[in-house]
Structure 1
Amino acid sequence: MVMQATLRQNFLHFLFGLVLLFIPIVFFLNHENQTALAEAETHITVTAASLNVRTLPSIEGKIIQVVHRGDIFKVTDTQAGWDRIELISAETGWVKSDAVQPTLGETYTVIQSKVNGLNVHRSADLQSTIISHLSPGHDYKVMNQSGQLIEVQSPDGPGWVASQWVTQQLKQMDSAQKKASVTAAALTIRELPESSSQALGYLHKDDLVRIQSEQAGWAKIMTSTNIIGWISKSYLSFSANDKAKKNQSNGTTTSSTPTKSSNQTVQLAAPPSNKNVLKGKTIVLDPGHGGKDDGTTSVSGTPEKTLTLETAELVAQKLSLAGAHVVLTRTNDTYISLDKRVSISEAQNADAFISLHYNASPIPFVKGISSYYYTKNKDQELASDILDGVLSSTGLSSRGTRFDDLHVLRENTQPCTLIELGFVSNKSEDQAVETNRFRIEVADGVYNGLVTYFSSK
């Protein structure tokens, strides 16, 4: 009995060993198969003016859709002169192989809104904060998808939309011949090919872009940060590929330098060249709170310290482009004492010190922007001009310019002000101020306020 039990036990150990050996082999083979399939994945571009998509690889198949020249689709099978393609609806159908051609290079997916003002949400939850809106007729690049929600690159950064309100389309990544570099020191990206159209962002000299189309002196481009919009073609150099190759041969790379804001690139329109009153002025920007000091918290859960730093970075970029010497009291999530903030202002002999904050109240409907001063003769004009500039650019309501006994103002010997940029305790106002568009507007407003202030000196 003991010998039989020992033999049985040895046999079971042998079987268990075979199983352990078999599992990684199956996993390896499966992984190799998936890799091969991924590598074999291809896309086709429709070359016919219109092309029927059928249920079967035969003209006897029922027509389920008509596609058009330039449309791009993923190929899932090929059979006797027919290609099975995957439609945007996730259905599959068959098209004639002689009416399509292989799509060279990478592809990406864009959406277009079916409705005006489609809500873009901060997270993959339709109850989350609305950060932007989409308009029909414009391409927005798809970043991710979760069920019936799609993450897109909106004008105000990455956000989520309901798939039922959009149409999707595959597009081919532009070839190397369609790259270009920016020749202007500052170049505005616009929503439409016209100078009066809304600014979506801004490019620097030598930034590389991909050209998607051209129209009457304008180029529709995609930036390295996935912003799609229109720029003036006259400020582009189409020798970007040669430049990139030269940089690679020198061991360097050419890329844009993004300005951090809510995990996305936010770029500002350049100030008018005729307004040079800020040139050489030293402006100290003080992003309120930081480190262990969160400040208040918005209704959507964002700490004030995050909002103030993101805002200060954009204001700094705008003022720097105007020729100002800009100093930030903090450039990351660090605690800086009030005394230290004042000492930075005085050590820099600041021409203007601006402390940036966001407001909160236990009364949820309180709203508006306010600015503060301590010394009337030294500070009130600066506080008033900055407030007027920001009110004009953002369109929010005014709570006025007021006296307040605040440390960074009271102890500061330089011209100074503190501005509260709206109430994050007010749900509707928080939805506005937590967008990159609002921060761009604040940057414009601070710039205009400083131009007014220094123009009178």
Structure 2
Amino acid sequence: MNQIVVETTDAVLKEGPGTEFPQKSFLKKEQRLTVYSRKNHWLHVKTDDNKTGWVADWMIAAGYKNPIEKLGDATIVIDAGHGGADSGALSIKNKMEKKYTLLYAKELEQKLEAAGAKVYMTRSSDKTVSLSSRPILAQQVHADAFISIHFDSCDQPNAASGFTTYYYHTGKSLKLARCINQSFGALGLENRGVDKGDFLVIRDNTQPSVLLEMGYINTQKDFDNISDPSYRSEAMGDVVKGLKKFIENND
């Protein structure tokens, strides 16, 4: 057995060696852990307050992955929400959310690859992808950021408007959310800011992760923007700017 010290602010203690296991608690920066064993990239540990569980090695110490300093060296996972049997929300005229999340994901993929980043997509076509597999991909490739793209919906059509940037974990995920949200320009819709959201793909994610709700699909004003290629291009260009800011200031 050996001891290690938590060097990050967003490490999570899990009940088993994987993102699919329930969360037990958060680990504090500079907390000491006793390591019992290792399974792949997961460590079986006991905390200094006698809690036992599993923690991902790349979450507790920056040294497990060489830090990057520019977007061109980054690995980004893009998650096009819904897909296949899961249509997502519907517009007033029954246009499916899944179609537009994929269009936006591909737009972002193209722009990031043009900037030199390595990009992984949770889906590149209209297929069903489980929720749990999406954050697992980010874990497997040690993504520097995970971006999930969605569109909001309200109970009554035309009752709400605007786009929101969601995070779940504080630390790097919150920083990522702020960098992206602050990079959005005048897109023609209200910027509703940064908020905490209990969404599985960011809650069960060990990598810096955000979920973007890029407008209300069942509000006609928003949908007119959502379905406009120029809005899509500008919005995803702003996401690239936010990612660049996050990577270059990721200390």
Whether 1:295 and 2:98 are equivalent positions in the alignment is no
Kept in 1, the 8 Å contact 2:81–2:102? The answer is: yes
Larger Rg: 1
Whether 1:350 and 2:143 are equivalent positions in the alignment is yes
What is aligned with 2:213? 420
1:139-288 matches, cutoff 5 A: 277-288=70-81
Q: TM-score, normalised by structure 2?
A: 0.69
Q: Which of residues 165, 173, 183 in structure 2 aligns to 1:379?
A: 173
Cα separation, 1, equivalents of 2:218 and 2:196: 23
Kept in 2, the 8 Å contact 1:393–1:445? The answer is: no
| Deviation sequence 1:364-423 (CA, Å, 0-9, x none) | 23101101111111310101211222x315242111211122111111100000010001
What is aligned with 2:223? 430
Cα separation, 1, equivalents of 2:167 and 2:210: 5
- Secondary structure of the structure 2 residue equivalent to 1:338: coil
Cα separation, 2, equivalents of 1:349 and 1:409: 15
Kept in 1, the 8 Å contact 2:146–2:208? The answer is: yes
- Secondary structure of the structure 1 residue equivalent to 2:137: helix
Cα separation, 2, equivalents of 1:282 and 1:422: 26
Kept in 2, the 8 Å contact 1:369–1:396? The answer is: yes
Give structure 1 stretches of 5+ with no counterpart.
Answer: 1-275
Partner letter of residue 166 of structure 2? Y
CA apart distance, 1:448: 0.8
Partner letter of residue 341 of structure 1? R
| Deviation sequence 1:70-129 (CA, Å, 0-9, x none) | xxxxxxxxxxxxxxxxxxxxxxxxxxxxxxxxxxxxxxxxxxxxxxxxxxxxxxxxxxxx
Give structure 2 stretches of 5+ with no counterpart.
Answer: 1-68
Cα separation, 1, equivalents of 2:112 and 2:185: 17
- Secondary structure of the structure 2 residue equivalent to 1:279: helix
Cα separation, 2, equivalents of 1:404 and 1:313: 24
Cα separation, 1, equivalents of 2:117 and 2:130: 25
- Relative contact order, CA 8 A, sep 6+: which one is greater? 2
What is aligned with 2:164? 370
1:27-106 matches, cutoff 5 A: none
Cα separation, 1, equivalents of 2:89 and 2:128: 15
Q: Which of residues 200, 204, 211 in structure 2 aligns to 1:411?
A: 204
What is aligned with 2:239? 446
1:1-12 matches, cutoff 5 A: none
Kept in 2, the 8 Å contact 1:367–1:426? The answer is: yes
Kept in 2, the 8 Å contact 1:308–1:358? The answer is: yes
What is aligned with 1:396? 189
Cα separation, 2, equivalents of 1:294 and 1:388: 30
Partner letter of residue 308 of structure 1? T
Cα separation, 2, equivalents of 1:339 and 1:301: 27
More strand by proportion, 1 or 2? 1
Cα separation, 2, equivalents of 1:451 and 1:280: 11
Percent identity over the alignment?
35
- Secondary structure of the structure 1 residue equivalent to 2:73: coil
What is aligned with 1:181? none
Cα separation, 2, equivalents of 1:404 and 1:440: 25
Cα separation, 1, equivalents of 2:247 and 2:73: 12
Superposed CA RMSD in Å reads: 1.3
How many matched pairs? 181
What is aligned with 2:121? 328
Cα separation, 2, equivalents of 1:412 and 1:317: 24
Partner letter of residue 373 of structure 1? Y
Distance 1:455 1:395, change over 3 A: farther
- Secondary structure of the structure 2 residue equivalent to 1:402: strand
Q: TM-score, normalised by structure 1?
A: 0.39
Q: Where in structure 1 do 4 or more consecutive aligned residues deviate above 4 Å?
A: none
Partner letter of residue 450 of structure 1? L
Cα separation, 1, equivalents of 2:238 and 2:224: 19
Kept in 1, the 8 Å contact 2:71–2:248? The answer is: no
Cα separation, 2, equivalents of 1:398 and 1:440: 17
Kept in 2, the 8 Å contact 1:284–1:329? The answer is: yes
CA apart distance, 1:301: 2.3
